[in-house]
Chains A and B, each alone.
Chain A
Amino acid sequence: MALTNETIKARLTEKFGDQLSHVEEPYGMLTFEAPKELNLKVLNFLYDDEELKFRFLTDLTAVHYPDKKGRELAVVYHLHNMTDNIRIRFKVFTDISQPDIYTATGLFSAANWMERETYDFFGINFVGHPNLKRILNVEEMDYFPLRKEFPLEDQTRIDKDDEMFGRG
């Protein structure tokens, strides 16, 4: 029997019950959320289970929602079951004051740099990561640029004429 979103939902609720929330299917991809302490348990379950077999980490990234107090940073995992050709999206939310998430590098070596990039852009501390340093930005940078409060442009420029950009 082919694996469908309903089967996956059933298996997940049977294992984790009501700890999963916000189960929806935007554009056909099953998306659900779990508390951040359980992220490794969910990933391991999706990896080891003989029927689910989500053994390929497609993507790991984060999103910043400054309006949701207490749940500002979301880490999003995209997993792929190549044999049955199903994708799944899994989110964990964390508070911005203490953004600690367990690392997935033990399970997927691909998560190594993806978590470093997420740390670089959003400041999420991945607990247990072998080498959590900035990867794309300069090492000395002291803020996390992709958070919504920081601007895109370099603020230290003196030669830009604001009049020409409509901001004068």
Chain B
Amino acid sequence: MGSDFLKFLNCPLEKLSNYQIELIMSEHHIKLPEGSIEKTTTTLNLGPTHPATHGVMQNILELDGERIVSTEQTIGYIHRAFEKLAERRPLAQITTLTDRLNYCSSPLNNMGWHLTCEKLLGVKTPKRVDYLRVIIMELARISDHLICNSIVGVDAGAYTGFLYVMQYRELIYEIYEEVCGARLTTNIGRIGGFERNFNDIAFQKLEKFLREYPKVLKEFENLFQRNRIFMERTMGTGAISAERALNYGFTGPNLRAAGVDYDVRVHAPYSSYEDFQFNIPVGTTGDNYDRWLVREKEMWESLSIIEQAYRKVQDLKGAEAEVYHADVPEYYLPPKADVYTKMEALIWHFKIIMGETEIPAGEVYNSIEAGNGELGFYLISDGGRTPYRLHFRRPCFVYYQAYEELIKGSMLSDAIMTMSSLNLIAGELDA
């Protein structure tokens, strides 16, 4: 700033913008009387409906020319009262609510919820269930990162990458459909496992994915990674240091881009993640380019995890190779054929549906590594059918607070790039 000041010394005061004047004044401790410089900042409403289709959040920006001076954030435009709804539903029905948190990667949220319930109820899942869950979770993570990275490209002006990768997201959706029947809001899995075994078609589609996807990811990478325009747009903008990121509660790829290697899959392994070998990509400056790169590298790691998990599933032999849920008749609905013929199955079915099963009272906090960071579920149960209190620790909500600090002083177009590289999903922001 010193050399700029020398330049400004020869420049009459009227030619400087208000922002530059205030910078000079604050640096050299000059105080002018109140109101002698007019506040001529423009107010721009980056409103709830904006073309950068990230969902509904509002930022009222104060601009000085192109530079952002301050912003006032409003969220809550899609507040659906999940936490109050959850007090009304038995544990198995809350899965449908968790789908709609981070809807780009619903299976991750579902699995997180099932893991929380299993921690509360004390259910141990067999290895095959764990490995199949890992496959589904990593597919969901790839799907989430694909949307984020391609939308960063779209916001920078490059629409083609988005279309290339949507094709492979369709293949991921087809794999979900084979398992649970739905594409987007999957409600996949049950407490203790899956609702049906993965059939051959699901595995064939998975093999097709593993065969064809790396080439497409490489092509997508070549479009952006060393692209001069993309690098100039994203490097140096929206940077955050590791200390500030930790203080703001950042987790996930945004924190890893800032330099902290915190990943819930490694710190508190769940669903047999300790059996897998994978790296955690970590950035340095925490700017938009680092966040894009971290997500890109994480997709490669997820691909390697899926391959390892698939091989492990195929290596299981005998009775272990047929199991797809834990043996917990109190929480897992028996097959319908048994309900119509056997006595115990009928009784368990009745008890589960009418809510007469034993749910221990207690409080549990469980978290998983979702697409955006640490998705936590704080569940307080009073022994009844429905939770007494369920709170979702949503990563987007926590790190979006830092947005003002990230864009202060940068230009408007950088603000858009920062918003899209943070991967803000409105469903997770408001819940």
Stretch from A10-18, A36-44, A95-103, A112-120 contacting the other chain: A112-120
Residues of A within 8 A of B76 (CB): 134-138
Contact pattern, B 386-426, Cβ under 8 Å of A = 1, otherwise 0 = 00110101000110111000000000000000000000000
**A82 nearest CB neighbor, chain B only:** B262
Contact pattern, A 132-167, Cβ under 8 Å of B = 1, otherwise 0 = 001111100000011000001000000000000000
Residues of A within 8 A of B119 (CB): 27
Residues of B within 8 A of A89 (CB): 363, 365
CA–CA, A114 and B75, complex, Å: 13
Residues of B within 8 A of A55 (CB): 246
Residues of B within 8 A of A108 (CB): 247, 249
**B361 nearest CB neighbor, chain A only:** A26
The answer on a CB contact under 8 Å between B378 and A121 is: no
Decide yes or no whether B316 CB sits under 8 A from chain A: no
Closest Cβ–Cβ distance, residue B256 to chain A (whole Å)? 13
Residues of B within 8 A of A121 (CB): 83
Decide yes or no whether B268 CB sits under 8 A from chain A: yes
Residues of A within 8 A of B350 (CB): none
**B76 nearest CB neighbor, chain A only:** A136
Pick the residue among B81, B380, B391 that contacts A145 (CB under 8 A): B81
Q: A63-B380, A85-B268, A110-B248 are in contact. Are A152 and B85 (CB under 8 A)?
A: yes
Closest Cβ–Cβ distance, residue B430 to chain A (whole Å)? 6
Decide yes or no whether B376 CB sits under 8 A from chain A: yes
The answer on a CB contact under 8 Å between B378 and A76 is: yes
Residues of B within 8 A of A138 (CB): 76
**B83 nearest CB neighbor, chain A only:** A146
Residues of B within 8 A of A137 (CB): 76, 79
CA–CA, A59 and B88, complex, Å: 23
Residues of B within 8 A of A61 (CB): 378, 391
CA–CA, A132 and B81, complex, Å: 20
The answer on a CB contact under 8 Å between B389 and A152 is: no
Decide yes or no whether A78 CB sits under 8 A from chain B: yes
Q: A61-B378, A117-B397 are in contact. Are A29 and B365 (CB under 8 A)?
A: yes
CA–CA, A108 and B399, complex, Å: 12
Q: A82-B262, A85-B268 are in contact. Are A26 and B84 (CB under 8 A)?
A: no
Decide yes or no whether B171 CB sits under 8 A from chain A: no
Residues of B within 8 A of A85 (CB): 267-268
Decide yes or no whether A7 CB sits under 8 A from chain B: no
Closest Cβ–Cβ distance, residue B262 to chain A (whole Å)? 6
Closest Cβ–Cβ distance, residue B230 to chain A (whole Å)? 30
Closest Cβ–Cβ distance, residue A118 to chain B (whole Å)? 10
The answer on a CB contact under 8 Å between B84 and A152 is: yes
Residues of A within 8 A of B246 (CB): 55-56, 82
Contact pattern, B 61-87, Cβ under 8 Å of A = 1, otherwise 0 = 000000000000001100101011101
The answer on a CB contact under 8 Å between B268 and A56 is: no
CA–CA, A78 and B363, complex, Å: 12
Residues of A within 8 A of B202 (CB): none
The answer on a CB contact under 8 Å between B362 and A59 is: no
Pick the residue among A64, A113, A145 that contacts B401 (CB under 8 A): A113
CA–CA, A59 and B374, complex, Å: 11
Pick the residue among B267, B268, B391, B402 that contacts A109 (CB under 8 A): B402
Binding site for A on B (CB under 8 A): 75-76, 79, 81, 83-85, 87-88, 119-120, 244, 246-249, 260, 262, 267-268, 362-365, 367, 374, 376, 378, 380, 388-389, 391, 393, 397-398, 400-402, 430-431
Binding site for B on A (CB under 8 A): 26-27, 29, 31, 55-59, 61, 63-64, 76, 78, 82, 85, 87, 89, 108-110, 112-114, 117, 121, 134-138, 145-146, 152
Known contacts A57-B249, A136-B430, A152-B87; 7 additional CB pairs below 8 A are A58-B249, A63-B388, A63-B389, A64-B389, A89-B363, A109-B401, A113-B400
CB<8 Å pairs between A and B, sample of 25: A27-B362, A27-B363, A55-B246, A59-B376, A59-B378, A61-B391, A63-B388, A76-B378, A78-B393, A82-B262, A87-B365, A89-B363, A108-B249, A109-B248, A109-B401, A110-B247, A110-B248, A110-B398, A113-B397, A117-B397, A135-B75, A136-B76, A136-B431, A137-B76, A152-B81
Nearest 4 interchain pairs by C-beta:
A110-B249, A136-B76, A136-B79, A59-B393
